[in-house]
Structure 1
Amino acid sequence: MIAWLDSDVLIFDPLVELGLPHGDDFTARREWLPPAVLDESSVYLDHWKFSCDVLGMKWDDVPWIPADGLDKPQRLMFNSGVFAFRRGLGFAEAFADCTERLIRAGVAYGHGAYWHNEQHSLMFAMLRLGLRWRELPRSENHMIFNAQIDGEHAAPSCAEARLVHYSHSMDAPYWPRFLARLRRERPENLDWLAEHGPIENERVPRHPYALALKFSRNLRSRMQSKRSIRAVHEWKARQA
């Protein structure tokens, strides 16, 4: 079994379901943020249908998953920050192949954002291989992104979470609010965490090689975005 964990996670207690204890082949948590499809009027339908066309799959074969707590029913879509799969089933190869195919074909949102293809390929690779799967409970990928720390759209309490996926919530601008939330919900972990934050992101690398690499990557990314915008328009024209 192989488990993937993004670097922006905090593990508070031992992970159980991530170890595939029920005999399943794959597990991950749903992603409910855009471009998740919550109903058939979604503005992202074309995006997903374009993806299916590229991979030789049918959108109708993408299953609906039921509501889970505050999460509404939706078409299957995984968050790629925390997942696990069994060895020897060809998943890694299928995952890489789907990702490469989608990017090369120019699949992207309307403004050229193509990097989400990696996340979407989790679901496509799993369906292509017909793997047995089970959704990871929120407790083992409890997402508290910076826009969900507090307020009207705050993520549910993480008091029972084994793993918190914080994204940018530990960055300096959000750190006081994130720490205040954990003071309420995870006071037993507060002292340890307070010593490790906030996270300072170096936007402009100081080393010349790192700066040149960043410039090169940004240039290639802009070029890919332009190609993707053109590819999306061409696909939509063929559907008309």
Structure 2
Amino acid sequence: MKIKFLGAVAAGAIIGFAAQASATELLINGGFENQSFPGTTSYYNVGPSGSSADYSVPAGFGWTVSNGNVDIISYQSYGPAPTDGGKYGLDLVGYGSTGEISESFYTVKGDTYNVSLNYKSNPGVTNPTAAILVNGVAIGSVTGGTDWQTYTNSFVSTGGKVTFALNETYGYANGGVFLDNVSVTGVAGVPEISTWAMMLAGFASLGLAGYRRSRNISVQSA
């Protein structure tokens, strides 16, 4: 009975992993909402620990600031927000003229992944531009204007871990492209074959241990 039960657990785990392969949102906090906001009422300048940024990247931000520093902006000062923009957005330039954010996730080789985001210009600068990168290769770019616009694109993955980045290519005077509602959707990568083998071996070990224990109890009872 115990071996059968553990087999059912293993099968359930496999089904659970397979369910994760359905199309899903792969980015954390593409709306820049899920973090504390201890900065000024208008912006919150963040960057890597030890950088010239006012604050380290806060818990819940989800993104790595991989170049320069960036501003989490409040729409109380920099509104209006785009549709479904929430309370906050992001300026890809904090102090200076550059900035970059990135996230990594696992993908399936040959599958198509859809990218979308809202963008506009910081009102203090004209025609700032930013590149959309996948593993360091640009798949597109945006130039901010006075109104919110929507960028959409897609890419076919070569498989494995992918790094998605947004890089300011032209900004100045502590201002750049405003971003919000950044999204990458597709099929999340599943564990490698070696991971499956380790997991099944673990269940087999538990089953064998349970079987031996039940035999010992039966012998002692006799």
Coarse TM-score class (shorter-chain normalised): under 0.3
TM-score after normalising by structure 1:
0.23
Higher normalized strand content (fraction of residues):
2
Higher normalized helix content (fraction of residues):
1
If you compute each CA radius of gyration, which structure gives the higher value, 1 or 2? Answer: 2
